[in-house]
Structure 1
Amino acid sequence: MTITMYGIPNCDTIKKAKKWLEAESKQYDFHDYRKQGIDTELVTKFCNALGWENVLNKRGTTYRQLTQEQKDGLNEANAIELLVANPAMVKRPVLDIDGELHLGFKAEQYSKIFN
């Protein structure tokens, strides 16, 4: 089983997800958007699998700093551009388990995924 977690290391949700995986002795790779980057191909893969509305984190400060015009005009194409330019707007974590993508973290959700 190959597990890759995508995100930003100082995110509280990422920290909880990492702690859960480590407690369950799950080996994983961590892809840090800030260090390793993010590109259109990766964001498009996330959006195709999970839906762009789900991938876009509307609760974060980066999203709240968008103009009302930007928010009102959102569609998949410009959302992908925004997500590539602002990786902090990608909901976290994105977990890739052997090519199957999962979004967010809740202990119950991870228990179901891994059992």
Structure 2
Amino acid sequence: MLEIYGIKNCNTVKKALDWLSANDIAYTFHDYKKEPATQERLEKWEKSISWESLVNKKGTTWKKLSAEEQALVIDASSANTVLLANNSMIKRPVIEFEGGIILGFDEAIYQEKLLKI
């Protein structure tokens, strides 16, 4: 079973969930608004993907940080501090599956990695 992490009203998350449903792939959804990410979860993800890829620097939450706050995000520890305080800054969705982690929505990657499950 897939574990999906994100925010229900995020357009990218909606696309991912719609694709999974259309392809009859079962999943459990974890909404950051109701179930915030934890330090342990971030560290688990960072064993498979880089901390840099988890930080959504294109989103409004990142852009609302001051230049000084952004400059402090220099390693996994400092990134995790910011991500835990601002879960909406985590790139979405995060999909945990038996083969690893997928970030965001890319239909080609979903087809390659998730249709084999």
TM category, shorter: over 0.9
- Kept in 2: contact 1:50–1:103 (CA 8 A): no
In terms of fraction of residues, the more helix-rich structure is 1
Once superposed, which parts of structure 1, at least 4 consecutive aligned residues long, lie more than 4 Å away? none
| 3-state SS in 2 of match to 1:34 | coil
Q: How many residues matched? A: 114
Partner Cα separation in structure 2 for residue 61 and residue 47 of structure 1: 23
The structure-2 alpha-carbon separation of the partners of 1:99 and 1:108, relative to structure 1 and needing over 3 Å to count, comes to closer
1:14 aligned residue = 13
Shift of 1:48: 2.8
Partner Cα separation in structure 2 for residue 66 and residue 95 of structure 1: 26
* 1:95 and 2:87 matched: no
Counterparts of residues 65-76 of structure 1 (less than 5 Å):
65-75=64-74, 76=76
Quote the sequence identity (%). Answer: 38
Deviates more, 1:40-49 or 1:6-15: 40-49
1:113 aligned residue = 113
* 1:83 and 2:77 matched: no
Shift of 1:97: 0.8
- RMSD in angstroms over aligned alpha carbons? 1.2
Shift of 1:73: 2.2
Q: TM-score, normalised by structure 2?
A: 0.92
5+ residue gaps, structure 1, are none
1:24 aligned residue = 23
Q: TM-score, normalised by structure 1?
A: 0.93
